[in-house]
Structure 1
């Protein structure tokens, strides 16, 4: 799914109005009706009180329509209009006249007493057109909403959130009912506190415009991931499924390379060889008998030598940063030409030796967590600068960057995909080692490096989404990611058959 700028969304609105021969008021009614229907389905108890906050722009107009529809449906509705939030638009004014006829009374910005489970705040103060900091009086309203302890549902965007730069204060929404497409800002780390969950509502914007309009940013949701999936062929055997080599491990960190190797085989490749120091030989043979093991060095890898011809290599989990290991890494990179998956200690070695980054094979996949990313690219002042640094880094070294976070970013040059699968259960040691194995396995199976990164990140997150329905997020471990890969594949295969 493409992510569009505010200007592109406004252009889509205009073309929809023109091509479908409707008025802007009709489009507002359509959008707000979809939001109302979501609220009605989510909160069927007619004892629920909806406290609707409206600005004076078109987002406020959406709020007025929602308030009117809820009132007509016999819900309890309290309406607040932030008179200081700009100048009224024509569509807002028209909807205000309709609201007046319903008998809904304005509340004059008095916070409704909170009753657990019985009050839902609907935030419709500002929309995508916000271009300046809210006034102090509006900030005070936002603060009251954030401190209310009620469920907060924002319409289109949380009020106060900028779509193109850092936001200091905004409504902290439990749900954002956004129209037609997600917004990039929703999925950036600085804004996690403002957007707990985004719900995308289809309001029938001009399909041809959405299809043809270019975007550098995409949302990886289930449908997009399913399109990338390569099912196992009926005549497959271990030779056709490819051979992965996982390089890593050092004394005390053998578990990392064990997790990565097992994940590679579980993700579908035919064979896995592990290159690790001798101190890990007995461990890997006992933990993962399906793996072949090659050793070098006693407590850490001193040379990267192997006799097999793997289809792809993942390197880094538990590797350590001993001088001999670093030298072995640089020699390996000079000799290796096919894309590799790079994680953990290799990222830190390269960050400390940036002149060696040019040794990376073209379209290699780098998987840094936030601190590792900072070491590679330098620090940033906000997430928009972070995105630019990622894209610049990718272009400079011709690599794919998988920036791990709650919404992992996969970037190759100017194209950026933001993942939607996964949850807080993945915040556990070894999760990144498992991802390295999955990505290496997908390379082995013939996925292009970029598709392997996008699909692999989604598949990795999907395991946690399935698991939390069966076990708690707190009890979830990296080994559970591997254990639930089968169920994640089954969900994707089911979607593929039903397309």
Structure 2
């Protein structure tokens, strides 16, 4: 989902590093994807150098979706984050790994994309339901890490520690699983195109929400993450045409 969203957003190439046990399944899903095989059934320390070398050939790396939290995977993710020299979008299971040691991301070019539950694991702070209650905790975490935090929710809250933006696009139908992966892919492509982490996170949240709204208009309230991906080009078109 991350890779397909990246491509729909305008990435030239999207490379998926996946365990050998599922690499061919991913290849069969779309001929647009470039799949590179990891050496075991899960991401493990033996893959660290390989993944970092792949990342060096790319403009940005997304880490987290679909990883799992096996002990060897946690070790590998920690080392990849610590040693990466590329901008990163950190999501899903990689956020759970990061919650064990926030210092590993300090000094990195990173966008974190937690939902409220993942934010609580990172900070110990249980967020209130209203977006106004969430703005200061998000800004505080971004400032502490010197990173961009994109808190997903009914309204998304984005901060780089100084600036705060609230995104109001989207629909309740987007609570379906996978739309966060779509957002990560969008964010990564915009970072690759602009180099602006905060701006990319803000625009990605906006476009993701518009794509979700368009998907709901077409399919009704019961949409899939892949429906949102299919609407990304139309979301760009709608925005550009005003």
TM-score after normalising by structure 1: 0.45
- Aligned match for 1:428, one of 176, 200, 214: 176
Cα pair distance change 1:381/1:479, threshold 3 Å: closer
Q: Are 1:365 and 2:111 matched, yes or no? A: yes
Q: Is the 8 A contact 1:380 1:386 kept in 2?
A: no
* Counterpart contact for 1:402–1:410, Cα < 8 Å: yes
Q: Are 2:208 and 1:494 equivalent residues in the alignment?
A: no
Query: Partner of 2:219: helix, strand, or coil?
Result: coil
Deviation at residue 330 of structure 1 after TM alignment:
2.1
Could you tell me how far apart the structure 1 residues matched to 2:220 and 2:225 are? 13
Alignment map for 1:150-169 (pairs within 5 Å): none
1:335 maps to what in 2?
A: 83
Contact 1:463–1:485 (CA under 8 A) maintained in structure 2: yes
Q: Could you say which residue in structure 2 is the equivalent of 1:463?
A: 211
Structure number with the higher helix fraction is 2
TM superposition shift of 1:357? 4.0
Q: Relative contact order (alpha carbons < 8 A, sep ≥ 6): 1 or 2 greater?
A: 2
Out of 274, 278, 291, the position equivalent to 2:33 is: 291
Q: Distance in 1 between matches of 2:70 and 2:39?
A: 11
Q: Is the 8 A contact 1:466 1:484 kept in 2?
A: yes
1:380 shift after superposition: 4.1
8 Å Cα contact 2:168/2:206 also seen in 1: yes
Name the SS for the 2:69 alignment partner: coil
Displacement of 1:339 in angstroms is 2.0
Whole-angstrom distance in 2 between the partners of 1:388 and 1:469: 34
Measure how far apart 1:388 and its partner are: 2.1
How far is 1:451 from its partner?
0.9
In structure 1, how many angstroms separate the alpha carbons of the residues matched to 2:124 and 2:87?
Answer: 24
Q: Which of 470, 478, 491 does residue 225 from structure 2 map onto? A: 478
Q: Deviations over 1:237-265 (max 9, x none)?
A: xxxxxxxxxxxxxxxxxxxxxx1111111
Equivalent positions of 1:176-187 (< 5 A) are none
- 2:15 matched residue in structure 1: 273
| TM-score, scaled relative to structure 2 | 0.91
1:376 matched residue in structure 2: 122
Q: Given the alignment, which residue of 312, 315, 321 partners 2:69?
A: 321
- For residues 104-142 of structure 1, the C-alpha deviation after alignment (integer angstroms, 9 at most, x for no partner) is xxxxxxxxxxxxxxxxxxxxxxxxxxxxxxxxxxxxxxx
Higher Rg: 1
* Pair 1:450–1:350, CA change in 2 (3 A): same
For residues 7-156 of structure 1, the aligned pairs below 5 Å read: none
Q: Secondary structure at the match of 1:274?
A: strand
User: C-alpha deviations, 1:286-334, integer Å up to 9, x for none?
Assistant: 0121111111133211123144410111111011112211221222122
RMSD: 1.7
- Asked if 1 retains the 8 angstrom alpha-carbon contact of 2:74 and 2:97, the reply is yes
Whole-angstrom CA distance in 2 between matches of 1:330 and 1:418: 30
Query: Which residue number corresponds to residue 118 of structure 1?
Result: none
**What SS does the aligned partner of 1:311 have?**
coil
What are the equivalent positions in structure 2 for 1:257-272 lying under 5 Å apart? 259-272=1-14
Question: 1:385-422 CA distances to partner (integer Å, 9 max, x unpaired)?
Answer: 54322211111110101000011111111311110211
Give the gaps of 5 or more residues in structure 2: none
| Alignment gaps of 5+ in structure 1 | 1-258
Per the alignment, in what secondary structure is the counterpart of residue 481 of structure 1?
A: helix
Conserved 8 A contact 1:313-1:340: yes
**Cα distance change on mapping 1:385 and 1:407 into 2, 3 Å:** closer
Matched residues in 2 for 1:426 and 1:460: separation?
10
CA separation in 2, counterparts of 1:351 and 1:402?
Answer: 16
Q: Give the paired residue count.
A: 234
Give the match for residue 392 of structure 1.
140
Contact 1:463 1:481 in 2 (8 A): yes
1:479 shift after superposition: 0.5
8 Å contact kept, 1:377–1:390: no
